[in-house]
Amino acid sequence: MSLFSLSKKMKKLKLQKKQAQQTDQPQPVKAIHSSLQDQVDYIKEKTGNSTDVNIRKLQLGDGTVPNAAVVFIEGIADSKAINDFIIESVMNRSVHNSQPIFEILLEDVVALGDVKEITDWENLFLSLMSGESIILVDGYHKALSASTRGGEQRSIQEPSSQVTVRGPRDGFTESIRTNTALIRRRIQNPNLWMENMKIGSVTKTDVSIMYIKGIAKEDIVEEVRNRLKRIEIDSILESGYIEQLIEDQAFTTFPTLYHTERPDMVAGNLLEGRVAIIVNGTPFVLIAPAVFIQFFQSVEDYYDRADIATALRFLRILIFFISIIGPAAYIAITTFHQEMIPTQLLIAIAAQRETVPFPALVEALIMEVSFEILREAGVRMPRAVGSAISIVGALVIGQAAVQAGIVSPAMVIVVAITAIANFATPAFAVAIAARLIRFGFMFAAATFGFYGIILGIIVLAVHLCSLRSFGVPYLTPMAPLILANFGDTIVRLPLWAQKKRPRLFSSEMENRVGENQKPQPPESRGMVNSAIEKGGKDES
């Protein structure tokens, strides 16, 4: 009986697989009707008589019955451009019935760029929903599509997530064309190539990849292109959808793609050989491949002096380690390694913990969870009251918890320093990863002390070494060690000393700085002295 049921189940699975394969076969392309009335009726039927789908019927030729129509969607199409360059051009042009009306419209009448013919309904609705205007003519099995994308859009503003003291103030918007234009203004080179595609069976979201031909490696570009083409999903509403579908490692807290809303940062990464993925409807652009050290770098590092940038990068690495092992180190010291604490400080901590009924781990978990709740509440609340709730809540809860004897003042200080260090991390994606990893280190420290922390660091290093971003090792150029590219990692060498692009990203164009670019001015003191002496002689 079991064999019979198993055989029946296998047949059912084969039938379902066969039906799925038949469903996946491409549907035949449906041609456009020749009758204008049938065309208009079909558009109304497919759009459900939506009120934002405007259909303007026009009269061309010598007759009195309308024989053409302009179809566009209000809000995502530029109404002024439609009226000025399509409707008025058509109405003011005299066309005889004996002339080929469709060809005249295509070549002479429509005063807009990017006008193309459409012969099937699928491409017609795709263009219509993208904000383009459709021109229909009675008696033709085709239509015209004119680029009139527009409507209300957010203006270019300074990015709120990546604020810098020195640098450009413009940031990406939700319009993909505005974002690509911001990048092209910075890289005015014909080798900056862009490829467009639509992803999402329902949303048909515009996605573009940008790279510099000759600098980016063809293997990486091809891998990015293939991964995007393999995506089968109904909707893409933000670049985070793309990031989750094309990343190398799904089960990791560390991001393997970099996202930014600064055009200058994207331009800098493109010049290093990386590929940018731009998604319509979001100001965040993805950059691939990404390496670990990249998340501790700021675009401002390249605008400041090399020594200042290097010091800040060392500080960010220190901040990251504080954010992941701060509470764990306190738990390990107070639980297992009290001999490491100076005697006076040990007496003070013991006096504080005398009334605390919980072990150090429970004490740290109470404070960490409370702080995470406050932080999430501050983010979700309206901006006017969010910061006030976070600050007042932290002060009130921390003070009340200390007075109630639930936590010690030293633990409040440790958790506060850890939280501030977490906020100081440049990349938000790595800051979130540190928040999660911190709890693992706390449990390891409560179980094995400093031995658990060292074991956790070893496991973390092994995990980072195992990660890849589009085939590029995550810890490059430190592991594997590439000394030629080590000048732009924790240490930032002067621009004149960074002669080579990253070896694993760029192709044959590795050199980016010419020879003898080190500043070598003449003897300035001698020039000043000679000028002073000359001025003194002239006065005498």
- pTM for this predicted structure: 0.84
Between CA 313 and CA 319 the distance in angstroms is 10
Cα distance from N-terminal residue to C-terminal residue, the chain: 122
Nearest to 419 by CA among 333, 324, 329: 324
The span from the CA of 149 to the CA of 127, in Å, is 10
Band the pLDDT of 470: cuts 50, 70, 90. very high
Q: What percent of the chain has pLDDT over 90?
A: 37
- Tokens read off for 527: 């020039």
SS3 for 210-260, per residue?
Answer: EEEECCECHHHHHHHHHHHHCCCCCCCCCHHHHHHHHCCCCCCCCCCCEEE
pLDDT tens-digit profile of 34-63? 888 899 999 999 999 898 899 998 887 666
Q: How far apart are CA 131 and CA 152, in angstroms?
A: 12
The set of residues, in sequence order, having a beta carbon less than 8 Å from that of 351 and lying 6+ positions away, is none
Instruction: Give the β-pairing of 275-279 and 258-260.
Output: unpaired
Q: What is the pLDDT of residues 294-332, one digit of tens each?
A: 999 888 888 888 899 999 999 999 999 999 999 999 999
pLDDT of residue 484: 77
Greatest alpha-carbon pair distance for the chain in Å reads: 122
pLDDT in tens, 424-467: 888 888 999 999 999 999 999 999 999 999 999 999 999 999 99
Residues 241-290 pLDDT 10s: 999 999 998 889 999 999 999 999 999 999 999 999 999 999 999 999 99
Q: Is 69 in contact with 57 (CB distance < 8 Å)?
A: yes
pLDDT value at 348 more than 70: yes
Using DSSP's 3-state secondary structure scheme, residue 206 falls into: strand
Which of 460, 357, 354, 345 is closest to 413 using CA atoms?
345
**Structure tokens given for 150:** 């527009």
Q: What is the mean pLDDT of residues 79-107?
A: 73
> 61: which DSSP letter?
S
- DSSP 3-state percent helix, strand, coil across the chain (nearest 5): 50, 15, 35
Rounded Cα gap, residues 475 and 468, in angstroms: 9
